[in-house]
Structure 1
Amino acid sequence: ALEVVAYDETTATARPFKVEFQNRRWSLPSHFNYPADAQNRLAKTAAALMDLKKESIRSDSASDHAALGVIDPLDQKATSLAGRGKRVTLRDEKGGVLADFVLGKAVDGKAGYRYIRVPGQKRTYAVKTEADPSANFEDWIETDLLKLSAEEIRKIAINNYSINEQLGQLENVERTVLIRQKDKWTASTGRAPRKPAIDALTGALDTLRIVNVQPKPPALTKDLRAQEGLMLSMESLMSLRQKGFFVTQTGQLLSNEGELIVETDKGLVYTLRFGEVAPGAPGATTGTEDKTTERRYLFITVSYHDDRAAAYNDGDPSKVRVTGNRLARELTNRFADWYYVISGADFTNLRPRAKDL
């Protein structure tokens, strides 16, 4: 296992993060055991930590720790908010400590060198190391969430609406359909959509990344994997409602802030439903997302349709049937477990208004 503790000076809190091998896979205990795409990154980090050589002593005084950035982020006795480093601990399969360091600031004038300290000791060293493991959730997960590229997209239906929860009705309803034929996009608005707007939308789908997750109730996950309709329990209904998703009396699933339906040339139909505002989570912020808008819960489903595959492959769905079915099953199993959380920037790009297209 690898444990990383970073420090957030703005909130004066330590942010623990852990990557662990359990049940025959790498997962993130700090995020409900979400699957980690960690093997290569972890191997590189472990090798760098185990290979550390304490080449030169820079200080034996605790008073220098803040200036060198090696105050332990878990040290509750330290009064300084600034100067805290990143504590990195590598453990074996039985929990024994293989390496444990506080990584500090980069050494001025020496590329590739940084200050380190062993927790509990005063001495600070300057070492050459590439070890700098991230404590951010986004850096340890599969980055290609939807498994699609912008070039594969053939049709996008944007269903913008909001739900008045008190009256139980849809408001501000607006539907726009975009269709691509031979690299040319047309819109149901009757005018050609602007290329920058199309590029922003398809690019957001291509590069969509999540910043946090919440698990769905087991019964809801089971229903979604079975794909035989939702037999919703009270727990599932309450969970959906809390995240901004509502089931009508006819069984239709609606979302607080509309939905996006995307068709690809593989015959896949994705439905992205945008729910309630999601709270920020420790370790989920990278500092690069749009701070002016709010994170949202995202509920994703996907299915393969032979008629759509035929429509986008000259009437012959056999070209993509095997690939499309396999990918739909793989993604359904992935999406069934989780409510995803996306950044405000992605939320904005994925639901443009008709006037902006």
Structure 2
Amino acid sequence: MDETRKTLAFVAAAAVVTAAAFLAAPADPTPEAFSDRGEAFFPDFVDPNDAVSLEVIDFNEATGGINAFSVVFKGTRWRIPSHHNYPADDKDRLARTAAGLIEVRKDDVVAEIAADHEALGVVDPLDESVASLSGRGKRVTIKDGNDNLLADLIVGGNVPGREGQYRYLRVPGQKRTYAARFDVDVSSRFGDWIEKDLLEVDQARIEQVILKDYSIDEGTRMLDQRDTIVLSKGDPDWTANRMRTGQKVDAVKMEDLLKALDELTIVGVRPKPAGLSRSLEDNDEGISITRSDLASLQQKGYYFTGDGQLVSNEGETQVSTEDGVIYTLRFGEIVYGAGDEVTAGLIGAGSAGGVGSAGGPDGSGGPGGFGAGSPAGPGENRYLFITTGFDAGLFPEPPRPADLGFQARADSLWTDAERTNADLQEKHESWRQRVDTGRRTSADLNARFAQWYYVISAESFDRIRLRRADLVTSE
């Protein structure tokens, strides 16, 4: 009897355990879970050229804030609203991103309830109703020219155990989460969308570099002129002004300086006030500024001396090319911070409370200028103010032909005088084209530079802002 009772007790216990296990295990997928398998996420989105805007929202778990990046077609070109409407030079990237999203398919259903979203990394980064800061994905939104939604997707974590680029994906507002092949390059990095080559200069075409080593007393506006180093390209060696007997320009240091100028890249941008930009675009007329323009300049580390000369608190570098284009690089205040604090000057970017602000229409204001970052922040960078000019004196005008009568005759009938005139005309036309090209190049560059304060890395600054002792050595 006792054995019978024990047997019945074990059977009952086993039944309870089996029932509990059944209730705790995931339910078998319902037929509905497979109903959309293999379908496109956005079946109505078929032409990548319909896309005219992209927004990428990233969540920063370390700070509890979001980083927003957007690209929009405005007027006649692509621009980046999240970075003061700076031009997006990689215009094909959005089309590639859009085409990639069109191809994404719903491969497998992996979750049907919201409780699984955090573990899969597909919590909407904009969802304030979810208390947890972890498990938030990257939200990608694409719209057409009429602001109609073409694609809206939350990209979560990698799918373990799957070969290739498989990610967890979810459509905002829906509970179902999918595992799908996702090899779309959805970049929210400012540098991936712009032409980072700042000067667009070939180091082989640089003929002269002038390093003006000075600083300015921000209170008295007096310059401390320490040195002016004129480096001139020779054959084969570079030379410097005021070199003593037995001295030379260090070839390795000079090569690195030229390379630093060639490779100078944009880290961030700040818009100049509209009035200052318009004045700078027409450099031949000089610079005309208002009081607010002056404040913007000073916040970034730029000042006018008593005689109207624009100077910077960390000196300047002039670069002359064989094409006659002269770049003037003026180095201003330090820019601290990381991420959008540096790239766009967004105060509190990526911090709790969401996207920061640039403080004003020119992204400036306050001590050192809004967008200068926190003085205690990481990653020193530097403001850079660039202007260009054209040195027509490098190209003396050759003699003109005495007359152009040769143009009306076949060259087989030319006299010696006509052949001379033809040669003179060819040389003069070549000179004119070269001068026109140089002027146009300078004007185009100046129009672009006039609108922006640039931010460059501390490394680039240190490679360019050299002193005589860095460059001139004993033979």
Q: So what's the TM-score if we normalise by structure 2?
A: 0.68
5 Å-filtered alignment, 1:247-258, equals 247-258=304-315
**Which is worse superposed, 140-149 or 260-269?**
140-149
- Whether the aligned pair in 2 keeps the contact of 1:35 and 1:141 (CA below 8 Å) is yes
Give me the CA root mean square deviation: 2.3
Aligned to 2:189: 136
5 Å-filtered alignment, 1:305-324, equals 305-308=391-394, 320-324=434-438
State how far apart, in whole Å, the 2-side matches of 1:7 and 1:309 are. Answer: 56
Change (3 A) 1:80 1:199: farther
Aligned to 2:7: none
> Does residue 29 of the first structure (1) align with residue 85 of the second (2)?
no
Aligned to 2:303: 246
Name whichever structure is richer in strand by fraction. Answer: 1
Change (3 A) 1:102 1:195: farther
Q: Deviations over 1:51-70 (max 9, x none)?
A: 21111123334344334332
5 Å-filtered alignment, 1:32-71, equals 32-71=84-123
State how far apart, in whole Å, the 2-side matches of 1:258 and 1:115 are. Answer: 52
- Whether the aligned pair in 2 keeps the contact of 1:138 and 1:284 (CA below 8 Å) is no
> Alpha-carbon deviation of 1:337?
1.0
5 Å-filtered alignment, 1:167-206, equals 167-171=220-224, 173-188=226-241, 190=243, 191-206=247-262
Q: Given residue 276 of structure 2, which amino acid in structure 1 is its aligned partner?
A: L
Aligned to 2:385: 299
5 Å-filtered alignment, 1:114-153, equals 114-153=167-206
- Counterpart secondary structure, 2:269: strand
Aligned to 1:233: 290
State how far apart, in whole Å, the 2-side matches of 1:46 and 1:148 are. Answer: 33
- Counterpart secondary structure, 2:150: strand
- Whether the aligned pair in 1 keeps the contact of 2:268 and 2:342 (CA below 8 Å) is no
> Does residue 78 of the first structure (1) align with residue 78 of the second (2)?
no
5 Å-filtered alignment, 1:145-164, equals 145-164=198-217
Aligned to 2:404: none
- Counterpart secondary structure, 1:126: strand
State how far apart, in whole Å, the 2-side matches of 1:82 and 1:308 are. Answer: 62
- Counterpart secondary structure, 1:261: strand
State how far apart, in whole Å, the 2-side matches of 1:74 and 1:97 are. Answer: 17
Change (3 A) 1:125 1:308: farther
Aligned to 2:452: 338
- Counterpart secondary structure, 2:439: helix
- Whether the aligned pair in 1 keeps the contact of 2:221 and 2:304 (CA below 8 Å) is no
- Counterpart secondary structure, 1:192: strand
> Alpha-carbon deviation of 1:279?
4.8
Q: Given residue 100 of structure 1, which amino acid in structure 2 is its aligned partner?
A: D
Q: Deviations over 1:68-91 (max 9, x none)?
A: 332222122333334322110001
- Whether the aligned pair in 2 keeps the contact of 1:200 and 1:349 (CA below 8 Å) is yes
State how far apart, in whole Å, the 2-side matches of 1:354 and 1:266 are. Answer: 26
State how far apart, in whole Å, the 2-side matches of 1:240 and 1:336 are. Answer: 13
Q: Deviations over 1:121-151 (max 9, x none)?
A: 2322222232232112221112222121111
Q: Deviations over 1:234-285 (max 9, x none)?
A: 1221111111111112111100111010011111100000111235475366
Change (3 A) 1:66 1:320: farther
**Which is worse superposed, 331-340 or 136-145?**
136-145
Name whichever structure is richer in helix by fraction. Answer: 2
> Does residue 265 of the first structure (1) align with residue 318 of the second (2)?
no
Aligned to 2:157: 105
Aligned to 1:276: 333
Aligned to 1:313: none
- Whether the aligned pair in 2 keeps the contact of 1:274 and 1:299 (CA below 8 Å) is yes
State how far apart, in whole Å, the 2-side matches of 1:22 and 1:90 are. Answer: 15
State how far apart, in whole Å, the 1-side matches of 2:383 and 2:60 are. Answer: 24
> Does residue 214 of the first structure (1) align with residue 270 of the second (2)?
yes
> Alpha-carbon deviation of 1:155?
1.0
Aligned to 1:17: 69
Change (3 A) 1:248 1:97: same
Change (3 A) 1:293 1:50: closer
Identity of aligned residues (%): 44
Aligned to 2:358: none
- Counterpart secondary structure, 1:133: coil
Aligned residues: 348
List runs of 5+ in structure 1 lacking aligned partners: 311-315
State how far apart, in whole Å, the 2-side matches of 1:84 and 1:186 are. Answer: 58
- Whether the aligned pair in 1 keeps the contact of 2:335 and 2:342 (CA below 8 Å) is no
> Alpha-carbon deviation of 1:223?
1.4
> Alpha-carbon deviation of 1:232?
2.2
State how far apart, in whole Å, the 2-side matches of 1:292 and 1:123 are. Answer: 40
